[in-house]
Structure 1
Amino acid sequence: MWWTRKRSTSREAAEAAAEAAAEAEEEAEAKAEAESLATMSKHRNAYILMGIGGGALAAFGLAAISGIFAPVFFALVLTICVHPLRIWLEKRGVPRGIATGSVITAVTLLLLTFGYAVIVAFGQFTELLPQFAPQIAAFGQDVADWLTSLGINSAEISAAASSFDPATLIGFLGGIVGGLTGWITILVIIFTMLLLMAMDAGFIPTLFRQLYPARPLVVGSLVAYGHNVRRYMVVTTVLGLAQGFVNWIALVILQVPGAFIWGLLAFICSFIPNVGYFLAIIPPIIFGGLVGGWPTVIAVIVVYGLINAVIQSIIQPRVVGKAVSLSQTITFFSVLFWAVVIGPIGAILAIPLTLLVRLLLVDTNPQMSWIRPMIGELDETKAIMAQFDAEAKAARKARKAAGKAAAGRTGGGGGVEGTPEPATGAPAGAATGTTT
């Protein structure tokens, strides 16, 4: 009917107008993006300097509030690590409030267990150090004499060696542990943030679903960040416990004093990439050398080297996988950088902090995808390298085969050297007849 045709015509016109408006909007966005890229290309150096200045200002700001930022971020990492427990409980019908309480209880028990272990280790250390104070002082004097024999004749070295008293370490460590005001403040911040973050975490899945249609890249990057941090921290914790336990048993067998202390130190240092191994091995080497001499020192080095090679160099990379797509250079620099900015806990949280910076600057910015291979995502790079290696290997084989063929043509002929080959199709005995 005529009114049906009129209605369909108006609907088609509306759809055409909507399509035209959408195309115009896309063209406007593309034009604005092109203009912004052109502007950035004109002032690239200025933007780079502004970025460096902003990064330096942010680093100084974090250093100024490190007393607050470090425990808050530590609470965030703990919340991320225990979030699957909440999901598991809620899927089985546990009320959200009980799930939140279970998460807080689990984290609190973990922290209390670790704190108790630290207190026990500190008590053992305060008892152990006075027993070996004379040997440690003598060792310091031997090091000073050795430096003097190498030509480093300094009165300051001799004075430091003669005035060194290992008992002063007890007072120093006691002052650190005895700063109850600072520790209580940190613990209050951690537990308060854990409580608040655990309650807010119940809304995270719904918030992600709500935000995904508008910002899919941001939601995907946040989910990937949580997964990567959780995988890295949980795997490092489990492997660190195994590493510390094995080191403890090995040091007990080797009769190194303070085996439990050094096993706990190995567990803590397992969270510090590249540097933690060297920090963990120095004390057992010293105390092993004091009681057993060089054989014990060599045994400690061998045991620690084997355990570190198996756990941190073989098992951990395969289990963690792509959770930490950072190059070795960036990983080492991040340990040093965050240790300077927010203190010793920065070295332990260096990987999660660096992944957070990567989330803000790279993962949520489509224009920065080109930098991913440069900071550690090397899957495509490794495939290209394998292809180049295969092509180079094939080229070497081809050159080798061509060289053999050329050598066969110049030195061949099957008779006296330098005798010309018979013409194609000539009788087999023709060449023999000419040579005779």
Structure 2
Amino acid sequence: MWWTRKHSKPTEPADAGDDGDDGSVPTETVSEHRNAFILLGLGGAAIATFGLAAIAGIFGPVFFALVLTICVHPLRVLLERRGVPRGIATGSVILAVTILLVGFGYLVLVAFSQFAELLPTFSAEISAFGQEVAKWLATIGINADELHNFFANFDPSSLIGVLGGVVGGLTGTITFLVIIFTMLLLMAMDAGFIPTLFRQLYPTRPLVVTSLIGYGSNVRRYMVVTTVLGVAQGVVNWIALLILQVPGAFIWGLLAFVCSFIPNIGYFIAIIPPIVFGGLVGGWPTVIAVIVVYGVINAVIQSVIQPRVVGRAVSLSQTITFFSVLFWAVVIGPIGAILAIPLSLLVRLMLVDTNPRMAWIRPMLGELDEAKEVMAEVDAEYKAARKTRKAEKVRSNSA
């Protein structure tokens, strides 16, 4: 194994055991400047992070365009294999992405207009509900004066303005759209040269080419699978909320679709509005029903189906995944939470996948296949040992 290679002999080896293991601990050659290199790396990472935050308005849409280009690249390959000219294939790719973006934008506008009509209808109920929550918090010793004052003077138009700013920050600004469509056009044209460039680069940089191809495949699988399952999740939630007669069912179904791209946190964001509006019209029975429905759907789709379909496309631990959402949301804004997985995979590509000396850290990041096999073997050994001890105990008692 890799941890037994090229290690110096210990100066004072331990006594050999019955199994022939001398108990020695392998050592490794450590550079005398390793700590300085670590500090330099951390400093460079901090500078890069602040730099990305400074250009978040540009970096976010550019990377989003890159992800979209990666996702639709198989369409280009399919068309070119069928003899379609490269120019027409490029135009088809751009048209497909444009249709998807325009369709999603239309759904967002419909949902936002419905929400603008829905909120004033329940403004009195929301205000009363908020004041009741504030009183309940006061009974358990939590000062909620600000919350009480907010709901006492609740104005639906102010909340609509805030949400409009959020939606505009995600999808609506002219700069955002111009950058996305311009980069889509340019990346779609440049993508036609990528296979040839990879073939030329492979003889001299095989690991780089293999890592880039793997990154594109992993990002594509993750985004496509998440999109398909997110659509299914949103539709099922929409139908369930319609059955439960929760106001704004379409809005919350669309919200569930968008939040499906946010690992770990998205579920809790998506469930809050239907709980609130369900409680306003149906009380606690509707609230419990919404929690159960969302919990079952989330458990089946995101905890059972998605990991099996995505497989090893996202070899990141749960801790790193959760931290990635928080980190990228802070660095480049709300779109960073949606693109957290592709962004983290890009960082892993640059620091680990293309560096053969960093292969040892892969299990620490989330590639746990070998670790799971070792754990299964150890568990089997412990189980066999327990059975042996139990059998010996039975024989000794019978004797």
TM, length-normalised to structure 1: 0.83
| Match among 59, 63, 66 for residue 76 of structure 1 | 66
Residue aligning to 1:356:
346
What do residues 51-105 of structure 1 show as CA deviations (whole Å, max 9, x unaligned)? 1111111111100000000000000000000000000000000000000000000
Structure 2 counterpart of 1:188, one-letter code: V
Q: Are 1:133 and 1:167, in contact at CA under 8 Å, matched by a contact in 2?
A: no
Structure 1 counterpart of 2:268, one-letter code: F
Residue aligning to 1:146:
136
Please give the alpha-carbon distance, in whole angstroms, between the structure 2 residues aligned to 1:153 and 1:101.
59
Please give the alpha-carbon distance, in whole angstroms, between the structure 2 residues aligned to 1:145 and 1:222.
56
Please give the alpha-carbon distance, in whole angstroms, between the structure 1 residues aligned to 2:323 and 2:170.
32
Please give the alpha-carbon distance, in whole angstroms, between the structure 2 residues aligned to 1:289 and 1:180.
29
Please give the alpha-carbon distance, in whole angstroms, between the structure 2 residues aligned to 1:124 and 1:352.
32
Matched, 1:109 2:109: no
Matched, 1:163 2:153: yes
| Match among 118, 126, 129 for residue 116 of structure 2 | 126
Please give the alpha-carbon distance, in whole angstroms, between the structure 2 residues aligned to 1:360 and 1:81.
20
Matched, 1:328 2:337: no
| Match among 375, 392, 405 for residue 365 of structure 2 | 375
Q: Are 1:136 and 1:166, in contact at CA under 8 Å, matched by a contact in 2?
A: no
Residue aligning to 1:67:
57
CA deviation after TM superposition for structure 1 residue 167, in Å: 3.1
Structure 1 counterpart of 2:318, one-letter code: Q
Please give the alpha-carbon distance, in whole angstroms, between the structure 1 residues aligned to 2:311 and 2:67.
19
CA deviation after TM superposition for structure 1 residue 152, in Å: 2.4
Please give the alpha-carbon distance, in whole angstroms, between the structure 1 residues aligned to 2:164 and 2:348.
38
CA deviation after TM superposition for structure 1 residue 174, in Å: 3.6
What do residues 5-64 of structure 1 show as CA deviations (whole Å, max 9, x unaligned)? xxxxxxxxxxxxxxxxxxxxxxxxxxxxxxxx96x6211111111111111111111000
TM, length-normalised to structure 2: 0.91
| Match among 26, 33, 52 for residue 42 of structure 2 | 52
Q: Are 1:232 and 1:324, in contact at CA under 8 Å, matched by a contact in 2?
A: yes
Q: 1:155 to 1:230 in 2, by over 3 A?
A: closer
Partner SS state of residue 256, structure 1: coil
Structure 1 gap ranges (5+)? 1-36, 410-436
Please give the alpha-carbon distance, in whole angstroms, between the structure 1 residues aligned to 2:58 and 2:178.
11
Partner SS state of residue 272, structure 1: coil
Please give the alpha-carbon distance, in whole angstroms, between the structure 1 residues aligned to 2:260 and 2:382.
40
What is the correspondence of 1:185-204 to structure 2 with a 5 Å cutoff? 185-204=175-194
Structure 1 counterpart of 2:322, one-letter code: F
Residue aligning to 2:7:
none
Structure 1 counterpart of 2:75, one-letter code: L
Please give the alpha-carbon distance, in whole angstroms, between the structure 2 residues aligned to 1:398 and 1:182.
68
Please give the alpha-carbon distance, in whole angstroms, between the structure 1 residues aligned to 2:39 and 2:384.
46
Which structure has the greater CA radius of gyration?
1
Matched, 1:390 2:345: no
Q: Are 1:104 and 1:195, in contact at CA under 8 Å, matched by a contact in 2?
A: yes
Structure 2 gap ranges (5+)? 1-27
Residue aligning to 1:283:
273
Alpha-carbon RMSD: 1.8
Q: 1:398 to 1:174 in 2, by over 3 A?
A: closer
Please give the alpha-carbon distance, in whole angstroms, between the structure 2 residues aligned to 1:182 and 1:99.
28
Q: 1:106 to 1:180 in 2, by over 3 A?
A: closer
Partner SS state of residue 142, structure 2: coil
What do residues 281-332 of structure 1 show as CA deviations (whole Å, max 9, x unaligned)? 0000000000010111111111111111111111111110110011111000
| Match among 178, 195, 207 for residue 197 of structure 2 | 207
CA deviation after TM superposition for structure 1 residue 361, in Å: 0.5
Please give the alpha-carbon distance, in whole angstroms, between the structure 1 residues aligned to 2:147 and 2:114.
30
Q: 1:178 to 1:373 in 2, by over 3 A?
A: closer
Please give the alpha-carbon distance, in whole angstroms, between the structure 2 residues aligned to 1:331 and 1:55.
18
Please give the alpha-carbon distance, in whole angstroms, between the structure 1 residues aligned to 2:168 and 2:349.
38
Q: Are 1:245 and 1:263, in contact at CA under 8 Å, matched by a contact in 2?
A: yes
Deviates more, 1:216-225 or 1:50-59: 50-59
What is the correspondence of 1:23-42 to structure 2 with a 5 Å cutoff? 41-42=31-32
Identity %, equivalent residues: 78
Partner SS state of residue 42, structure 1: coil
What do residues 380-399 of structure 1 show as CA deviations (whole Å, max 9, x unaligned)? 10111111011111111111
Please give the alpha-carbon distance, in whole angstroms, between the structure 1 residues aligned to 2:167 and 2:339.
21
Q: 1:154 to 1:241 in 2, by over 3 A?
A: closer
Please give the alpha-carbon distance, in whole angstroms, between the structure 2 residues aligned to 1:87 and 1:362.
28
